[in-house]
């Protein structure tokens, strides 16, 4: 067996199952799940319509690089969305289809880490669990930067010791962030780029929530945009990860892409060729209309905006909770996150996720402790019912 498997931590949802085992929720209250970040809005209809066409492509093996039309549409979308210089992003050498960002985040780490040089992978804390698992399986040591409220939940890059930067081979950023909903500014991303240049490491920016934000006039910036602004015109050392899962509410489609530095994409293509994770041509063709169209994404954001506007005031009457800058998560403070989660399940038949399960112990404590993650993915009416039940539970605790 690969001994690194033993270093993996139990996945948060496994821990949640154990926490709730044996609990007896009231049978008359229908269960509402708020723990998983799985979009529940209707899947984009233009994706569903396209599913029925091009079925004959299932008769061919897909190439790992993907079909040119897919890569071209992605390059056009990135150029439009992040105001890149026309032609700066070459669809031939700078874009690859991936089966959702999850597998790509994992596989990318295996591609870039040189295990012989005592590698470190720097990442936020709390964080999307794949970053750590991928680092451990690549033989790297994770280094955790706390994402906490005093800094608007943005990890302080300048607090990382120089000895860590010297060993860092890969920096993970997540913007908009899961679970905090923080958004990195262009200046923040440029500071990361300065460090990457100085210490010669790669930045993997997980931007899978980039299209879920609340102010139509303030779309979150991206790493490629920051690279361009900093004069890294070939996106040196940068790779971004995007997906249709949240943008178009199709998490089951498994459709995403990576884009950035051509040298890194070339190495990643080589790795993926052997890994055998080409996206089916059918999925690529079905994805094209979803990257071309913004109307369905604007409508998706409208639903989230409406939901947050209704739910947040209900919760704010009983819990310290801020409106996030982006994403579909709330990250309220609670006294004891495990107890809160278990009691909420037992008394109100609601599932949330203890924040400590998304974080790691570091000096100063686990920055997820004393928080719960609430995914506002269900319908507006279900989320309002859930918020009312949370209010009732918290009021009951106070009595
Ligand atoms: C931060 C983050 N990155 C990546 C993913 C993976 O998404 P997908 O593989 O559907 O693109 C998720 C899913 O919830 C996520 O929260």
Residues 374, 334 contacting (CB under 8 angstroms): no
The best mutation among 243, 327, 375 to test binding of ligand 1, ranked by most ligand atoms within 8 Å of the C-beta, falls on: 243
Q: How far, in Å, is the centroid of ligand 1 from the Cα of 102?
A: 6
Q: Model confidence at 259, in pLDDT bands (50, 70, 90)?
A: very high
Q: What is the pLDDT confidence band of residue 54, given thresholds at 50, 70 and 90?
A: confident
245 C-beta closer than 6 A to ligand 1 = yes
Instruction: Identify the pLDDT of residue 397.
Output: 80
Q: How far is the CA of 308 from the centre of ligand 1 (A)?
A: 20
Q: What is the pLDDT of residues 303-330, one digit of tens each?
A: 999 999 999 999 999 999 999 999 999 9
- From ligand 1's centre to the CA of 349, what distance in Å? 26
pLDDT at residue 396, rounded to an integer: 87
Mutate to test the pocket of ligand 1, among 178, 324, 326 (most ligand atoms within 8 A of CB): 178
The minimum-distance atom of ligand 1 relative to the CA of 36 is: 14
CA dist., res. 51 & res. 289, Å (int): 11
pTM, two decimals, is: 0.97
Average pLDDT over residues 223-242: 97
301 lines ligand 1 (CB under 6 A): no
Instruction: Give the Cα separation of 384 and 83 in Å (integer).
Output: 37
Nearest to 305 by CA among 212, 175, 372: 212
DSSP string for 318-364: TS--PPPSBSSEE--B-S-HHHHHHHHHHHH-EE-EEGGGGS---TT
Residues in contact with 254: Cβ distance below 8 Å, sequence separation at least 6, in sequence order:
99, 100, 103, 279, 283
Q: 226 with 186: CB under 8 angstroms?
A: yes
Q: Can you give the pLDDT at residue 399?
A: 64
Percent of the chain whose predicted confidence (pLDDT) is above 70: 99
223, pLDDT greater than 70: yes
Is residue 187 a contact partner of residue 141, using CB atoms and an 8 Å limit?
no
Ligand 1 within 6 A of 256 CB? yes
Could you tell me which of 124, 16, 1 has the C-alpha nearest to residue 373? 16
Which candidate, 273, 250, 308, 245, places its Cα nearest to that of 265?
273
149-167: pLDDT as tens digits: 888 999 999 999 999 999 9
The total number of residues written for the chain in this structure: 399
pLDDT, one tens digit per residue, over 79-98 is 999 999 999 999 999 999 99
Q: For ligand 1, is residue 205 a contact (CB within 6 Å)?
A: no
């Amino acid at each position: 067996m690969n001994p690194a498997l033993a270093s993996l931590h139990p996945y948060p949802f496994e821990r949640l199952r154990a926490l709730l085992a044996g609990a007896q929720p009231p049978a008359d209250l229908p269960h509402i799940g708020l723990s998983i970040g799985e979009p529940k809005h209707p899947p984009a209809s233009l994706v569903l319509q396209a599913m029925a066409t091009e079925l004959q492509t299932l008769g061919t093996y897909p190439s790992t690089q993907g079909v040119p039309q897919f890569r071209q549409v992605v390059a056009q979308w990135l150029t439009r969305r992040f105001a890149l210089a026309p032609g700066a992003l070459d669809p031939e050498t700078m874009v690859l289809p991936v089966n959702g960002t999850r597998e790509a985040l994992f596989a990318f780490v295996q591609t870039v880490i040189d295990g012989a040089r005592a590698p470190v992978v720097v990442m936020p804390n709390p964080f999307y669990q794949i970053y750590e698992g991928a680092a451990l399986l690549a033989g790297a040591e994770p280094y955790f930067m706390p994402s906490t409220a005093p800094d608007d939940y943005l990890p302080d890059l300048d607090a990382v010791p120089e000895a860590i930067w010297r060993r860092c081979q890969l920096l993970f950023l997540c913007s908009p962030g899961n679970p905090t909903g923080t958004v990195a500014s262009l200046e923040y991303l440029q500071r990361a780029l300065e460090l990457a240049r100085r210490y010669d490491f790669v930045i993997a920016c997980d931007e899978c929530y980039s299209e879920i934000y609340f102010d139509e006039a303030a779309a979150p910036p991206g790493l490629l945009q920051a690279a361009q602004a900093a004069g890294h015109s070939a996106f040196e050392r940068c790779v971004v990860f995007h997906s249709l899962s949240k943008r178009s509410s199709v998490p089951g489609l498994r459709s995403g892409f990576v884009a950035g530095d051509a040298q890194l994409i070339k190495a990643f293509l080589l790795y993926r060729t052997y890994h055998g994770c080409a996206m089916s041509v059918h999925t690529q063709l079905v994805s094209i209309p979803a990257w071309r169209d913004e109307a369905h994404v604007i409508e998706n954001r409208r639903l989230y905006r409406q939901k947050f506007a209704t739910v947040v005031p209900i919760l704010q009457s009983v819990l310290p909770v801020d409106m996030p800058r982006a994403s579909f998560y709330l990250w309220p403070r609670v006294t004891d996150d495990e107890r809160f989660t278990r009691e909420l399940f037992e008394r109100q038949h609601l599932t949330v996720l203890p924040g400590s399960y998304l974080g790691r112990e570091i000096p100063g404590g686990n920055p997820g402790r004393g928080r719960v993650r609430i995914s506002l993915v269900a319908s507006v009416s279900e989320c309002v019912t859930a918020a009312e039940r949370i209010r009732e539970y918290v009021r009951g605790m106070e009595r």
